[in-house]
Structure 1
Amino acid sequence: MSARPNQRNIKWVEGLRGITSVLVIVTHISRALDFPLFWPADSPDASPRLLQLPYLRIPWQGRIGVPIFAFLTGFVCSYKPLKLAYQQGNAPAALKSVARSAFRRPPRLVLPALIATFISFVMSCLGAYKASNHCDSFWVRFDAPDPLPFNENVQRLFRTSLTTWTNTENLFDRHQWAMRPLLIGAFQVYIVLAATIGMRFKYRMLVHVLLILYWLMNVNALTETFGAMLALGTLLAELAQHRPTQNFITSHQRLLNFVVVPLIMLFGGFIGSYPAEHEDWRSWSQTLHNILIDPAGDGSRGSLIVPKGTDIQRRTSAFFIMCTAVSLFLSPLFQKLLSHRLLIWLGHHSFAVYLVHGTILRTVGIWIVYGITGEPWEPAGKNEDGTPREQEWLHPKGRPHKMVAILVFTALTYTAAWAWMRWVDTACARATQWLEKKVFEDDEGGEGRAGLAEKGYGQGAVGNGAPQRPLLDGERTAPPP
């Protein structure tokens, strides 16, 4: 039975987004409360814990959430315009869809991010980050804004509201560092769509493949995290519309579901397990290092997957995400699993989770583990005898407190995300919709009266904007036939 592209299930995209939001939470929990999960073992002589083993370590070690969001950005931003362009044969409608999407994207990202930043600013003014500033977790201290007098804090708020979108620095919520690259990435997708919308299918595919190769050969920062993932999303959105490709997937489901996809996932998952530090502590991670990072043994070159001069951890994680994306695309079974209504609900709330979880973790989560007061704490200085006194940080109360903190933090995060989507995101969507109606012409009437009037062609006006004179007796408005 052949598959029609417009009947192909794409709900899996929202389900993948939901899983990604969960991965963001668990990796930040591990960063805050159990950083050795990023290593292959707690020490050179210690046996690895279960969550430090290959494959099982991937959700906790991080580096995969943002690349998945970038891939989904490329897929979602291009799917509708491509469907209009060559499935329905309406290139003008596709270009108009690109224009409207490009207009909506900035306010739909900027407005919620500003509100989340303001909430964190209020918490900072109330001293809610005191425990985070004094705890022994370097990652938590780095993420928490330092205490400042109110006037300086207000100035920091205005600076941060700008720098989030200029150099990715947000001192009130450092997790927003990805907002600017994702916004720029969406416009990269729009430009590619506008430039290739009239091309034949095979040449558009060639463009997407060349873009992926370009970004993977580029050794600059984050090219594998954003550029390659965005291009891969657009490529798969193309293939999702291509009837021969979908017919092939439908007719080879067993082979793809039970042979090809598992092999791809196993290969990509092993490479994606490469640890953040101390790869020499375990033989499997040292083997990966010898094959991928330093095959010559003298640091003179890298490999095809991890070229010399690239970010090793991001490259290995990006390779895993690319394998995962291709596997999901090829497997109707995986797509069906990801289309579960719970995962779709999580996906619907994923952006809200991304915006609120950091503030909740650095306040309520840290309060439970370290105490709400952030005391007793004394800054580094000198002892009475003049000798230097090293900084003593607050230590966790114990493992039970960590477990309670994880449960409370997770429940609060998704409760706050639900409330955010119901009120805050709805208000931002309405504001964006109002702006869109103001800026764009009416879809159904062609160019409306307001647009014609702006150009001097409104009612009672001629092309140059001058009033139209009354017609004389017998004068025609048009030449005779």
Structure 2
Amino acid sequence: MSARPNQRNIKWVEGLRGITSILVICTHVTRAFDFALFWPADEIHKPPRLLQLPYLRIPYQGRIGVPIFAFLTGFVCAYKPLKLAYQHGNAPASLKAVARSAFRRPPRLILPAMIATLISFVLSCLGAYKAANRCDSFWVRFDAPAPLPFRENLKRLFSTSLTTWTNTENIYDRHQWAMRPLLIGAFQVYIVLAATIGMRFKYRILVHVLLILYWLINVNPMTETFGAMLALGTLLAELAQHRPTQNFISSHQRVLTFIVAPILLLVGGYIGSYPHEHEDWASWSLSLHRFLVNPDGDEIRGSFLVPKGADAPRRTSAYFIMCTAVSIFISPLLQKLLSHRLLIWLGHHSFAVYLVHGTILRTVGIWIVYGITGEPWQEAGKNEDGSKKEQEWLHPKSRSHKMAAILVFTILTYIAAWAWMKYVDAACARATQWLESRVFDEEDGESKDDIAEKGYGHINGNGRLPRPHEAGS
């Protein structure tokens, strides 16, 4: 049976976004309370724990949440304009959709991010991060803003509000480091769409493939996290509208779903299990390192998959995400599973989860494990020879306190995300919609003020004057 592009199920996008928000929570809980899960074993020559084994370690070791968001950004930003171009053959309408999306994107990211930063600033002024500043988790200490007098704190708020969008540094919520590259990435997609919308299909596909290859051979920081993932999303959005491609998937869905997709997931998952560090602490990770990163045995990085100078952990995670994205794209069964209403609900709240979870973890989560007061505490002094003593940090109360903290933190995060979407995000959406209505023409025709503002002429009882391109026609 032939598949029609307009009948394609793209609810899976929201479901995948929901799973990604859970992965982000898993990663940051691991960073805060059990950083050793990022390694293939707790120590060299020690057997690994269950969650340190290949495949099982993927949700906890990080590196996949933000790249998946980048892939989804590429897919979603490209889908509607391409749908207009494919189904309606309306390139002008497609370009207009690109223009409106490009206008909406900055306020829809910047406004909520600034509100989240402001909330964290208020908590910092109230001393809510004292326990986080003193705990024995170096990652939590790095994430928590240091205490400052109110005036200095206020100056830091203004500078952070700018640096979030200039160099990705947000001292009040370091998880917002991804906001700037995601915003830039969206505009990368818009530029590609505007430049290729008039091309024939095979040449548009060639552009998308070349962009993926370009970002993968580029060893600058984060190219595999953003550039390649965005281009992959645009490519799959293109193929989602291409009827021959969808007909092929429909007619071969059993083979694709039960043979090709599992192979891609198994291979990609094994590559994506490459550890954050200490890859020599386990035989499987050392073998993976020798195959992908150091095939010549001379400690000079370089292979087809991980070129010399590339970030091996991020690069291997990128291949896992690519394999996963293609598997979902070719498998209607996986798309149906990801379209479950619970996952869609999680996906709808994923951006809110990303914005609020860090603040809740560094306050309530840390309070449960280390105490609210951050006491007893003593600043490290100096030794008799004048050298600085090693600081003694606060230690967790118990393992049960960690488990309770994870449970409470997760529940509070999704309650806060629900409230955020209901009130904060809705207000930001209304503000963006108001701005859009002021800036753009009316959907069903231009108003008199719009025409006059553009200098095309005025409207009176005898009709409007002709526009420049109509004169003499």
What's the TM-score, normalizing by structure 1? 0.95
Instruction: Name the aligned partner's letter for residue 75 of structure 1.
Output: F
Indicate the residue corresponding to 1:470 in structure 2: none
> Equivalent residues in 2 for 1:139-178 (5 A)?
139-178=139-178
How does 1:91-106 map onto structure 2 within 5 Å?
A: 91-106=91-106
CA RMSD of aligned residues (A): 1.6
Distance in 2 (alpha carbons) for counterparts of 1:350 and 1:73: 13
The 1-side partners of 2:316 and 2:385 are apart by 51
Equivalent residue number for residue 326 of structure 1: 326
Task: Give the Cα–Cα distance (whole angstroms) in 2 for the partners of residues 201 and 389 of structure 1.
Answer: 66
Tell me, what secondary structure is at the counterpart of 1:42? coil
2 CA distance for matches of 1:462 and 1:253?
57
1:444 and 2:444 correspond: yes
Residue matched to 1:236: 236
The 2-side partners of 1:384 and 1:310 are apart by: 46
**How far off its partner does 1:389 sit?**
2.4
Q: Are 1:22 and 2:22 an aligned pair?
A: yes
For 2:53, the equivalent position in structure 1 comes to 53
- Give the aligned residue type for 2:40: P
CA drift at 1:87: 2.0
SS in structure 2 of the partner of residue 231 of structure 1: helix
Q: Report Cα offsets for 1:125-148 as digits up to 9, x if no partner.
A: 000000000000000000000000
Q: Report the AA paired with residue 448 of structure 2.
A: R
Note the 1:74-473 alignment, pairs <5 A. Answer: 74-382=74-382, 388-445=388-445, 447-456=446-455, 457-460=457-460
- Once the 2 structures are TM-superposed, how far is the Cα of residue 46 of structure 1 from its aligned partner? 1.8
Q: Alpha-carbon deviations, 1:387-444, whole Å to 9, x = none?
A: 7422000011110000000000000000000000000000000000000000001121
Alpha-carbon deviations, 1:444-475, whole Å to 9, x = none? Answer: 11x3211221134122498699xxxxxxxxxx
The one-letter amino acid paired with 1:45 is H
Cα distance in 2 for partners of 1:37, 1:422 equals 35
State, as a whole percentage, how many aligned pairs show the same letter: 79
* CA distance in structure 2 between the aligned counterparts of 1:88 and 1:433, rounded to whole angstroms: 25
C-alpha spacing 1:455/1:255, structure 2 compared with 1 (3 Å): closer
Tell me, in whole angstroms, the C-alpha distance in 2 between the residues paired with 1:267 and 1:115: 41
Aligned residues: 466
Amino acid at match of 2:90: N
Shift of 1:299: 2.7
CA distance in structure 2 between the partners assigned to 1:204 and 1:92 by the alignment: 17
Give distance in 1, aligned partners of 2:255 and 2:466.
67
**In structure 1, distance between residues paired with 2:267 and 2:78:** 29
3-state secondary structure, aligned to 1:146: coil
1:119–1:463 CA distance, 2 compared to 1 (3 A): same
- Comparing 452-461 with 232-241, which one deviates more in the overlay? 452-461
The TM-score, its normalising length taken from structure 2, stands at: 0.96
Deviations 1:252-272 (A, max 9, x none): 111111111100100000000
Of residues 113-122 and 383-392 in structure 1, the stretch that sits farther from structure 2 once superposed is: 383-392
Shift of 1:47: 1.2
Query: Given the superposition, is the C-alpha separation of residues 4 and 379 from structure 1 closer, same or farther in structure 2, using an over 3 Å criterion?
Result: same
* Partner secondary structure for residue 347 of structure 1: helix
Q: CA deviation at 1:88?
A: 1.3
Deviates further, 19-28 or 293-302:
293-302
CA distance in 1, matches of 2:249, 2:354: 34
Instruction: Give distance in 2, aligned partners of 1:240 and 1:215.
Output: 22
Task: Give per-residue Cα distances to partners, 1:331-351, cap 9 Å, x unaligned.
Answer: 111000000000000000000
1:337 counterpart SS class: helix
Find the aligned partners of 2:221 and 2:388 in 1 and give their Cα distance.
Answer: 39
> One-letter code of the match for 1:152?
E
* One-letter amino acid of the counterpart of residue 351, structure 2: F
Q: Say which one has the larger Rg.
A: 1
AA in 1 matched with 2:453: E
Moved more, 81-90 or 338-347: 81-90
CA 1:36/1:301 → structure 2, altered by over 3 Å: closer, same or farther?
closer
Letter in 1 for 2:390: E
Shift of 1:17: 0.2
Q: List alignment gaps of at least 5 residues for structure 2.
A: none
Q: Deviations over 1:225-279 (max 9, x none)?
A: 0000000000000000011111111111111111111001000000000001111
CA distance, structure 2, for counterparts of residue 85 and residue 156 of structure 1: 46
Q: Which residue of 2 aligns with 1:2?
A: 2
Q: Which moved more, 1:251-260 or 1:50-59?
A: 251-260
Letter in 2 for 1:450: D
For residues 189-245 of structure 1, the C-alpha deviation after alignment (integer angstroms, 9 at most, x for no partner) is 000000101111111000000000000010101001000000000000000001111
Shift of 1:301: 4.3
Q: Rate the CA distance shift 1:133–1:301 in 2: closer, same or farther, 3 A.
A: closer
Residue aligned with 2:213, SS: helix
Q: Does structure 1 retain, via aligned residues, the 8 Å contact 2:459–2:465?
A: no
